[in-house]
Amino acid sequence: MDPQMQNTSLQRLQNVERRVVRVLELAGAVMEELASPSGPKKELVNSHCRELTQSMKDIQLTLREEIKSTCEYRPFEKCDYNARIANEICFQKLEYVLTQLDDLKQTADRYPSSD
């Protein structure tokens, strides 16, 4: 991930963090209003709830985009390490099989042919 993209991603996540704090403040304000001795003001509660709901949707959307963006980033995608290791393992297995076949041939050569 290039530094510029990483920087903007961090900035978006910082904005999400600020929005989460705002959502918590709104939830607290709604709770205070509902607990008011004079009774809750319907307009204020509705306003806070609408803002809270919209903020939650925005937060979800931003987090989904960030997760998707992060999942698309594959720093080792062009790396051939896995292929080289798999190739090396196959080579070692073939060498082992060849030594076993040589041993088998030597054992077979020790016994006379039944022809």
31 pLDDT exceeds 60? yes
pTM over 0.85: no
Q: Read off the pLDDT of each residue in 6-16 and give the average, rounded to a whole number.
A: 83
80 pLDDT exceeds 80? no
When the pLDDT of each residue in the chain is averaged and rounded to a whole number, the result is 84
Percent of the chain with pLDDT strictly greater than 90 = 38
- Residue-wise pLDDT tens digits, 81-101: 788 888 989 889 998 899 999
Contacts of residue 66, Cβ cutoff 8 Å, sequence gap at least 6: 9, 12, 13, 16
Q: Read off the pLDDT of each residue in 24-53 and give the average, rounded to a whole number.
A: 91
71 pLDDT exceeds 80? no
Contacts of residue 102, Cβ cutoff 8 Å, sequence gap at least 6: none
DSSP assignment of 5-43? HHHHHHHHHHHHHHHHHHHHHHHHHHHHHHT-TT---HH
